[in-house]
Structure formats: structure tokens, C-alpha cells
Amino acid sequence: MKVPTLLWSALIGAIASARSMTPMATLSAARLLGRATPGTLALLDRPLFKYGALAMGAGELAGDKMKTAPDRTVPLGLLARVMSAGIAGAALAPRGRERAGALAAVATAVPLAYVTLDARKKAMTRMGQTRSGLIEDALIVAAGIAVVALAVKPERRG
């Protein structure tokens, strides 16, 4: 089955809508495991970027449970989603289509941020901030890992 050209980019944008740093963290983990992305992205080969993205992904998961955590739709939250989705969407797009991949990811991430926020607020009223956040984390991280695992391939040696 042939996967539509920008599907992985759009799906990683959906991941960014709920957790802005998860796309970069999952891509960084894939690169550390020797996996190549379809699109070219030099940032993924810089150790500071790879480890920094992993740390930011973990920090976001912890910070989201704090009572003072801002909504994902505040300007800085949306900016983080735009940047993360754009970078990840470009990396998961076919070579030569990185810009289109970035646009597909951002076009998915921004409107879905409002949808995922609404769903999270409803879940919070039923089960509380921490429990709803942990469930959302598990779903989003698992989805991010799945999207990246399906989109990347082993890096060629030689």
C-alpha cells in the first residue's frame, strides 16, 4: 500500500497539536537509533539539538501537569507548535518536498490545538488535570512513536 506523500507530515502535525515537543523528541530518538528521515534536515544530526529535543519533550510532559501550565493555544504555545510541527513535517516529507511537508504539518497542528484543548478540558472535568494529562501523554507519545517509526527507515551505512 502506497502512503500518500504528505501523510506522515500531517500526522506529526496532529501530534504537535497536543504536545508541542513530542514530534522533535521522537524524531531525535529515531536519529539516535540510526534511523534516517525521508526529508533532509541538518538539525537532526547536531547532538545539542537531539539531546535538547529529548530533554524538552520530557520537560513538557512533566510541566503539563502543573496547575500553572498555560493552555496550548496561547501565542507562545501556538508558536512552539508551529516551529516543532514545521521542522518535523519537513523531516518526514519526501526529499525535495520538505516545504510542503512543513506546511502540511503546521496546517494540521494549529487548528487541532484548539480541538485537542477542548477535549482535554472536558477530560479534566471528569477525571482531573493529572490523570487526564497522563492519559493524553500516553496516547500522544505512543502515536508520535508510531508515526515516526513508520515514516523513517534504517540509515544507510557505507
Going by pLDDT thresholds of 50, 70 and 90, the confidence category of residue 157 is low
Give the C-alpha separation, 84 to 70, whole Å: 18
Structural domain containing residue 56: 7-152
* 91-112 residue pLDDT tens: 999 999 999 999 999 999 999 9
**Chain mean pLDDT for the chain:** 91
pLDDT above 90 coverage of the chain, percent:
72
Give the C-alpha separation, 45 to 95, whole Å: 16
* Number of domain units in the chain: 1
Domain-located, residue 15 = yes
Confidence at residue 12, expressed as pLDDT on a 0 to 100 scale: 98
Domain-located, residue 1 = no
Q: Are 39 and 72 in contact (CB under 8 A)?
A: no
* 47-87 residue pLDDT tens: 888 899 999 999 999 887 777 878 899 999 999 999 999 99
Q: Angle, to 10 degrees, between the axis of helix 98-127 and the axis of helix 75-92? A: 130
Does the model's pTM come out above 0.85?
yes
Domain-located, residue 2 = no
Domain-located, residue 131 = yes
